[in-house]
Amino acid sequence: MKPHQSLAFETKRWDMFELRLQGPTDGNPFVDVRFSARFKHRFLTLEVDGFYDGDGQYCVRFMPEILGEWSFETASNVPELDGVKGSLTCVPPDPGNRGPVRVANRYHFAYADGTPFFPFGTTCYAWIHQGRDLEERTLRSLSRSGFNKIRMCVFPKHYDYNRKEPERYPFEGSPELGWDFTRFDPVFWRHLEDRIRDLQKLGIEADLILFHPYDRWGFSTMSPETDEFYLRYAVARLAAFRNIWWSLANEYDLMKSKSMSDWDRFFRLLQTHDPYQHLRSIHNWHHPEIHYRSNLHWYDHGKPWVTHASIQHHDLYFVPEWRELYQKPIVVDECRYEGNLNHGWGNITAEKMLECFWEGVTRGGYVTHGETFVHPEDIIWWSHGGELHGESPERIRFLRRLIEEGPPINPTAVPFQWDAAGGGADPDYYLVYFGASRPAFRVLELPEGERYHIERIDTWDMTIEQLNGEYSGTCRVDLPGKPYQALRIRRIS
């Protein structure tokens, strides 16, 4: 492609436009060549970093969010890559393409087109490192699961049950010979991109973990310069995918070589170089037991570059307090795992996993699933993907359907009793969960002067029963004396 000729393209809204140019291959193009583009629409200008994709290919990607005509021009320290101009017409998106997910109404999420998004996620840390056959099995499982977000790592993982070497790595080199931290492996990154596209086709958000401590290769202890080099490259390659979320780290506080100021710097780098401002979070390991205000080891999710809190904690009771503290969406991304692993965090029951979900959402937050069943070939969902074996996923899917039928859940003025988790949208809608308790009845204090229908939900059996009559003010509701019951209360218009 000759430089300086005028090019014309058409791209659908929130799809990826990609411009590829041929350039030099001598020296180290990852380091020596600077390449970017400036995209303009009326009074809006977006600076987009490009990247080297190997074999003399230089690429810049752009996700247009505004319909109409855009112009662009490349910039580079290499003449043949500099000053390439063109136009881009952004046309309406295909059905089902609702754009990237962003924060909505302070504590919740919505797609860019305004459609509410309720995250019901799962965790498969190292699934992209397992080889094609197992990765395809994972995708088939996800397609049947009802999960719409997945926590996943860029770097491979070293931990119990995680001893195999992946086929490729983000950087050139090998475990035997070491790594060239000035050169990336484009084949690895193309594979990662293929998997993000696969998730996009399934309607699943990729909550991409950029760093983690479970490492035997040296990726968790790279120099500050290499950390920044890696982050800039990741953003340049991946930010134009609409289904990306940035998770700076899984259990960041176990990465002793990095300071709090390093994490601040990483957040600001993402904020500066991501033109689309995808969601940004960071995930903890320490979880104090006394009170949320004693979270001395936690990153301050109230900082302006954090979009939502990603929390590891087993007690969902604190969700309303975390909402109050951070004034942002609360996602409990790790509340332990359904399974039979030899670690305490990896052997809760399906009933307990489901209880975490119901408690989290009825208190105004969101929860992420995980599964750790021992497997003869060490194929464990939490890290490798494969097949889901637990009993909670179908019941989580049932809960997701219920939540998507109603408004976002917030703490409510209606005083539900101490042993129930309840929230809703005053005075129209309430969802009350009784957990493992076995109440025979409850007296509810509903708003006076309003009339309600009440449904009794068996969260384990996944049944919904409409109760007879109408309810208002102080009223008694009979319950079956079974665990895991809930009530859905809707105002009669």
The correct answer on CATH 1.10.150.120 for the domain covering 421-491 is no
| CB distance 485 to 440 below 8 Å | no
pLDDT in tens, 372-414: 999 999 999 999 999 999 999 999 999 999 999 999 999 999 9
CATH number belonging to the domain at 6-91, selected among 3.40.50.300, 3.20.20.480, 1.10.3470.10, 2.60.40.10: 2.60.40.10
- pLDDT-based confidence at residue 416 (cuts at 50, 70, 90): confident
Mean pLDDT across 440-469 = 97
452: CB partners within 8 A, 6+ apart: 446, 470, 471, 472, 489, 490, 491, 492
Domain 101-404, what fold? TIM Barrel (3.20.20)
Mean pLDDT across 234-257 = 97
- Among candidate residues 174, 169, 206, 172, the one with its CA nearest the CA of residue 188: 169
Strand extents, DSSP E, 198-255 = 205-211, 244-249
Single pTM value for the model: 0.96
Report residue 182 CA to chain centroid gap: 29
Taking each helix axis as running N to C, give the angle between helix 260-273 and helix 224-238, from 0 to 180 degrees, rounded to the nearest 10: 30
pLDDT of residue 4: 54
127, two tokens = 């699934």
pLDDT in tens, 325-352: 999 999 999 999 999 999 999 999 999 9
Residue 291 scores a pLDDT above 70: no
DSSP characters over 121-186 = EEE-TTGGGS-HHHHHHHHHHHHHH---EEEEESS---BTTB-PPPS--SEEEETTTEEEEEEE-H
Q: What are phi and psi of 286, to 5 degrees?
A: -60, 140
Mean pLDDT across 416-433 = 93
279, two tokens = 């969601």
Mean pLDDT across 102-119 = 98
pLDDT of residue 29: 98
Question: HSE on the CB side for 466, CA within 13 Å?
Answer: 6
Report residue 32 CA to chain centroid gap: 34
- Among candidate residues 234, 224, 128, the one with its CA nearest the CA of residue 171: 234
In the three-class reduction of DSSP (H, G, I as helix; E, B as strand; rest coil), residue 311 is classed as strand
Q: Which range, of 13-17, 205-209, 283-287, averages the lowest pLDDT? A: 283-287
pLDDT of residue 293: 46
| CB distance 476 to 441 below 8 Å | yes
Average pLDDT of the chain, as a whole number: 95
Residue 2 scores a pLDDT above 60: no
- Please state the domain extents for the chain: 6-91, 101-404, 421-491
pLDDT of residue 288: 54
pLDDT above 70 as % of the chain: 97
6-91 and 101-404 in the same fold: no
Residue 296 scores a pLDDT above 60: no
pLDDT in tens, 115-144: 999 999 999 999 999 999 999 999 999 999
- pLDDT-based confidence at residue 470 (cuts at 50, 70, 90): very high
In the three-class reduction of DSSP (H, G, I as helix; E, B as strand; rest coil), residue 478 is classed as strand
The separation between the first and the last C-alpha atoms of the chain, rounded to the nearest angstrom, is 63
Residue 251 scores a pLDDT above 80: yes
